[in-house]
């Protein structure tokens, strides 16, 4: 058995969470991440029969039965993850049609996984149904996307089109656009169900007055996705109150589609 702290998935998780904190996206315990792991990968570091605890989830995701996740703990600070990985993270196996999670490693102070576990697991199930390569669900509170939800129309087409116009890279990185949920109580099954539904048509889901969820094939790609949308929002918040003299037109966006071989969300371009 190899030492857990040498596992590449754990090292990468710590590196990404630390970077997210450094970007100001994860104040205090803000944000949470879940990374789906391959059983064969986990087996190198853990005895898969040694379950330390069984934790009820309060929802069902039968699609995820038997799947393994590295997940952040509730109330844990991203900034502290690097100093105490086992206290801030856990590795769980989903069992009993998603109604429970078996803890195999971590959450060493007796804590539980993130309060947003419903949104994470339901979003994994939703993303896997449209992209079998999806492995990551990531949540954080980036300043500019959050600010934008207070001053911009929350209509998904309008929100997306504004971001696409704020930086040339946006449509290339997220051609399917950004989905948006109105303000809802967080940490509930209801917001999990609503987010997962939105995740079927886009990898980014904004939670108004709260933050954003991103999903993707790996941690780096998902971080980059959120980073690009947040950069678009940063430009928007810098210029929203100024007279705009130049912009990226729909014609320009069509040119980008062609050059980078991406297809903008149906009906989002004129």
Chain contacts with ligand 13P (rule: CB under 6 A): 29-32, 72, 74-75, 114-116, 139, 186-187
Q: Is the dihedral of CA 188, 190, 196, 198 positive or negative?
A: negative
Say if residues 42 and 67 touch (Cβ distance below 8 Å): no
Q: Which residue blocks in 57-108 are alpha helix, DSSP H?
A: 85-88
CA angle, 12 as apex, 167 and 31 as ends, to 5°?
65
Total residues in contact with Zn ion, by rule CB under 5 A:
1
3-state secondary structure of 31: coil
From the list ligand 13P, Zn ion, none, partner contacted by residue 98 (C-beta under 5 to 8 A by kind): none
| Residue number with CB closer to ligand 13P (137 or 233) | 137
Give me the least distance between CB of 140 and ligand 13P, in Å please. Answer: 8
Show contacts with Zn ion in window 50-79 (CB under 5 A).
none
From the list ligand 13P, Zn ion, none, partner contacted by residue 87 (C-beta under 5 to 8 A by kind): none
| Residue number with CB closer to Zn ion (112 or 167) | 112
Give me the least distance between CB of 192 and ligand 13P, in Å please. Answer: 11
Give me the least distance between CB of 28 and ligand 13P, in Å please. Answer: 8
| Residue number with CB closer to ligand 13P (114 or 160) | 114
Per the annotation, the verdict on 116 as an active-site residue is yes
CA angle, 162 as apex, 158 and 164 as ends, to 5°?
115
Which residue is nearest to Zn ion, using beta carbons? 211
Q: Which residue blocks in the chain are alpha helix, DSSP H?
A: 8-22, 39-43, 85-88, 117-130, 143-151, 156-166, 169-173, 189-199, 219-239, 250-260
Give me the least distance between CB of 90 and ligand 13P, in Å please. Answer: 12
Q: Which of 39, 63, 116, 227 is catalytic?
A: 116
| Residue number with CB closer to Zn ion (191 or 219) | 191
From the list ligand 13P, Zn ion, none, partner contacted by residue 115 (C-beta under 5 to 8 A by kind): ligand 13P
| Residue number with CB closer to Zn ion (211 or 216) | 211
Give me the least distance between CB of 221 and ligand 13P, in Å please. Answer: 21
3-state secondary structure of 138: strand
Instruction: Tell me the β-bridge partners of 205.
Output: 179, 213
Cα distance between residue 138 and residue 131, in whole Å = 16
The backbone region for 37, taken as left when phi is positive above 0, alpha when psi lies in -120 to 50, beta otherwise, is beta
From the list Zn ion, ligand 13P, none, partner contacted by residue 61 (C-beta under 5 to 8 A by kind): none
Contacts (Cβ under 8 Å, ≥6 apart) of 49: none
Show contacts with Zn ion in window 197-236 (CB under 5 A).
211
Phi, psi (degrees; rounded to nearest 5) at 85? -55, -45
From the list Zn ion, ligand 13P, none, partner contacted by residue 192 (C-beta under 5 to 8 A by kind): none
Q: Which residues bind Zn ion (CB under 5 A)?
A: 211
Catalytic residues: 116
């Amino acid at each position: 058995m190899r030492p857990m702290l040498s596992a590449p998935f754990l090292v990468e998780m710590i590196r990404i969470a630390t970077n997210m904190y450094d970007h100001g996206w994860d104040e205090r315990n803000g944000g949470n991440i879940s990374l789906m792991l391959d059983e064969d990968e986990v087996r190198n570091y853990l005895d898969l029969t040694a379950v330390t605890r069984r934790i009820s989830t309060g929802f069902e995701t039968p699609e995820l039965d038997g799947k393994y996740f590295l997940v952040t703990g509730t109330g844990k600070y991203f900034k502290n993850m690097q100093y105490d990985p086992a206290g801030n993270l856990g590795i769980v196996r989903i069992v009993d049609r998603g109604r429970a999670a078996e803890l195999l490693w971590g959450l060493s102070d007796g804590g539980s996984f993130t309060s947003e576990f419903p949104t994470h697991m339901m979003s994994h199930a939703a993303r896997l149904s449209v992209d079998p390569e999806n492995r990551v669900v990531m949540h954080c509170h980036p300043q500019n996307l959050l600010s934008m939800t207070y001053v911009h129309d929350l209509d998904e087409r309008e929100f997306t089109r504004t971001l696409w116009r704020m930086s040339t890279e946006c449509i290339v990185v997220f051609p399917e656009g950004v989905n948006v949920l109105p303000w809802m109580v967080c940490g509930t099954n209801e917001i999990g169900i609503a987010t997962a539904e939105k995740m079927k048509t886009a990898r980014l889901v904004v939670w108004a007055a709260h933050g954003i969820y991103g999903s993707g094939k790996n941690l780096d790609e998902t971080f980059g996705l959120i980073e690009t949308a947040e950069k678009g929002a940063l430009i928007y918040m810098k210029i929203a109150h100024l007279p705009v003299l130049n912009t990226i037109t729909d014609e320009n966006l069509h040119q980008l589609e062609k050059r980078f071989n991406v297809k903008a969300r149906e009906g989002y371009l004129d």
